[in-house]
């Protein structure tokens, strides 16, 4: 009699096309193989649909005919570890980067990283925005800001933010920049997930804040990255989005 762990391994292997695990029953045992084949196909279709739901821009970029077998291949290599399929796909970007047929499209992994971060941002824990009066009274030399759990900063190797934006519903075919982009991703107070490309100064500012720097030191870091950088517009944008949740001295 196999242990539960052994049965689960053999069951998973059967889902991948291996022999059926011992112990499967049906009224007509001749039907076991056919019925399991239906179940195997349903699992593959469900995983493909889950991946397409989390990575709609990747699906659009490569086309439905290519995405379906691509998703099935990924599912063979990285099975969900949780029944919450919305959390599955964290390794998809790296998979795309290592998939030889897509080597001519190096921006695809970055687009997948944006889509993955958007999912994490949408499902991030709630946190109330800080009282604006606290920010007004803060000592910039001592205060550190705590950002909302949904805030992600992605340093990308391609203009993936612009590519992602072009492939949104109603997106316009804007010219793509010739440089790599840094993405700021967060869930705002209306529960919309924002994606925006940052300049060098804003990226350095957000990075320093996330690393725990004081506001003064973060502003200096931003000016080192971009001469004459003014942190005010980005800080106002964060406040309007409800993305600053605490100010500590």
Residue 17: what pLDDT? 66
Closest CA relative to residue 160, chosen from 202, 197, 117, 192: 197
Residue 140: what pLDDT? 87
Residue 111 has pLDDT above 90, yes or no: yes
In whole angstroms, give the CA distance from residue 242 to residue 131: 10
SS3 of residue 31 by DSSP = helix
Name the token pair of 177.
Answer: 């920049």
Closest CA relative to residue 61, chosen from 154, 155, 160: 160
In whole angstroms, give the CA distance from residue 53 to residue 195: 18
Work out the number of other CB atoms within 10 angstroms of the CB of residue 185. Answer: 24
Residues with Cβ within 8 Å of 221's Cβ and at least 6 positions away in sequence, in order, are 204, 205, 207, 208, 213
Q: pLDDT tens across 126-162, in order? A: 999 999 888 888 898 999 999 999 999 999 999 999 9
Name the token pair of 172.
Answer: 């316009």
Residue 83: what pLDDT? 82
3-state percent helix, strand, coil for the chain, nearest multiple of 5: 55, 10, 35
Q: pLDDT tens across 21-69, in order? A: 666 666 666 676 777 777 677 788 889 999 999 999 999 999 999 999 9
Residue 124 has pLDDT above 70, yes or no: yes
How would you class 52 by CB atoms within 10 Å of its CB: exposed for 0-12, middle for 13-18, buried for 19 or more?
middle
In whole angstroms, give the CA distance from residue 120 to residue 84: 13
Closest CA relative to residue 47, chosen from 14, 17, 21, 82: 82
Q: Are 78 and 40 in contact (CB under 8 A)?
A: no
For all residues of the chain together, what is the average pLDDT?
90
């Amino acid at each position: 009699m196999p242990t539960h762990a052994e049965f689960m391994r053999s069951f998973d292997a059967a889902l991948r096309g291996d022999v059926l695990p011992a112990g499967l029953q049906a009224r007509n045992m001749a039907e076991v193989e056919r019925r399991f084949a239906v179940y195997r196909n349903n699992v593959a279709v469900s995983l493909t649909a889950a991946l397409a739901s989390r990575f709609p821009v990747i699906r659009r970029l490569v086309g439905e005919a290519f995405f379906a077998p691509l998703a099935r291949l990924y599912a063979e290599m990285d099975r969900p570890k949780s029944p919450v399929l919305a959390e599955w796909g964290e390794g998809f970007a790296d998979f795309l980067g290592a998939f030889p047929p897509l080597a001519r499209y190096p921006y695809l992994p970055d687009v997948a990283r944006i889509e993955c971060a958007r999912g994490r941002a949408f499902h991030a824990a709630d946190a109330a925005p800080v009282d604006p009066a606290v920010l007004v009274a803060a000592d910039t030399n001592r205060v550190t800001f705590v950002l909302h759990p949904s805030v992600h900063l992605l340093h990308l190797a391609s203009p993936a933010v612009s590519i992602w934006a072009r492939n949104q519903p109603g997106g316009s075919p804007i010219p793509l920049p010739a440089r790599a982009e840094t993405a700021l991703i967060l869930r705002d107070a209306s529960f919309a997930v924002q994606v925006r490309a940052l300049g060098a100064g804003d990226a350095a500012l957000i990075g320093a804040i996330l690393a725990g720097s004081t506001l003064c030191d973060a502003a200096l870091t931003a000016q080192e990255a971009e001469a004459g950088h003014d942190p005010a517009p980005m800080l106002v944008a964060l406040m309007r989005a409800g993305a600053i949740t605490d100010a500590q001295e």
